[in-house]
Amino acid sequence: MLLLLIICAFHILESGAQQCLDNPRELVWIQEAPGVFNATLTLDVFKKNINTATSFTTRAINGDIPGPTIRMTRGNTYKILYKNNLGPESRFNPTTHGSHMDPNTTNLHVHGINYFIKTIIKKKKNKKKNSKKLHV
């Protein structure tokens, strides 16, 4: 949370606006069939340049910090392809729920709604990246 506030503070100083928090982009849905929508969330390493002498590296979803606002309508089916482009996890990464994980570990979670998630993990040959297809 502190990192998000720092990033937003820099953004506000640079742009003179609070777009970082007041107006995040919305996730774009593509209609697959009536009532069925698809979207992709891609998590990547992101380098933020503060000025010519200062920068830091963090993570961004679809190139934005914070990630997009996700809006859904009751009764529809939503499929999200979640791509983790951060790189492979350490083979020593803990597997216990609630443990401090490797920095390249990620998940998709929501707050404030009841939901059912069906997760399908696909591993590409010769790659250690995971894609999770979530039906919410």
Q: Model's pTM, two decimal places?
A: 0.63
DSSP-derived secondary structure for 63-93: TBSS--B----TT-EEEEEEEE-S-PPPTT-
pLDDT digits (tens, 9 = 90+) for 62-119: 988 888 989 888 899 999 998 989 888 778 877 777 777 777 777 777 777 666 666 6
Whether domain 2-88+112-135 has CATH 2.20.25: the reply is no
